[in-house]
Amino acid sequence: MQAEIDRNERQQHDLEMELQSTQDALDKVQRKLREVKTNKEYSAVLAEIDVGKQQMTCMEDQLLQLMEQAEQKLRTKRLQEQRVRATRDVLEEQGHAVDQASELLNQKILVEREKRHQTVVGLNADLLAVYEKLTAQNAGSVVVHLNDGVCGGCHLKVQPQLVSEIRLQESLHTCPYCRLILLWPDECPE
Ligand SMILES: [Zn+2]
């Protein structure tokens, strides 16, 4: 829009220069009018003046048109600038909100890390090794419950022998299909 405004200004300037030189030429012709000696010459000079005046009127109209267009372009440019400012404000606000949310999440992560640390301290080393190997291979939770003999991870039926072993809760068992750690439900509905 600014480039268009600049081009319009250059056009206005060129037209003003042209208008000025036409005006000068017209002045010269009008001075000639005082020196004519015959009627024929007089009519010819008058005709020349008419043509010059018409040219000037035409150029003045063009100039007015350019000025109107320039005003319109300037209005459009201001509107666009307003829109850009408004959008920038919204983006800035959203940026602040994201920063705040991120800060909160970081705090939560710190709290959870501390909780995890406290939990890990009390864990059996072998158990922890299995857990960490599994978390490295799987996204999300790697510990699932056994529900009615069905793995809570892959929903496949586990062999009765394994179910009885898990029920004893004496050692760690993983699902033979999805390899997640299987726990006996904390509270059995029975
Ligand atoms: Zn499974």
pLDDT tens digit string along 133-190?
888 888 878 899 999 999 999 999 999 999 999 999 888 899 999 989 999 987 443 3
Which alpha helices (DSSP H) does the chain contain, by range? Answer: 2-33, 39-121, 125-137, 160-168
Q: Tell how far the Cα of 175 is from the centroid of ligand 1, in angstroms.
A: 5
Q: How many CA atoms lie within 13 A of 102 on its CB side?
A: 6
Enumerate residues with CB within 5 Å of ligand 1 (an ion). 151, 153-154, 175, 177-178
**Cβ count within 10 A of residue 83:** 10
pLDDT tens digit string along 73-118?
999 999 999 999 999 999 999 999 999 999 999 999 999 999 989 9
pTM of the model: 0.53
Phi-psi region of 179 (alpha: psi -120 to 50; beta: other; left: phi over 0): left
What is the rounded distance in angstroms from the CA atom of residue 162 to the CA atom of residue 134?
Answer: 19
Q: What percent of the chain has pLDDT over 70?
A: 98
Q: Tell how far the Cα of 190 is from the centroid of ligand 1, in angstroms.
A: 23
Q: Tell how far the Cα of 131 is from the centroid of ligand 1, in angstroms.
A: 15
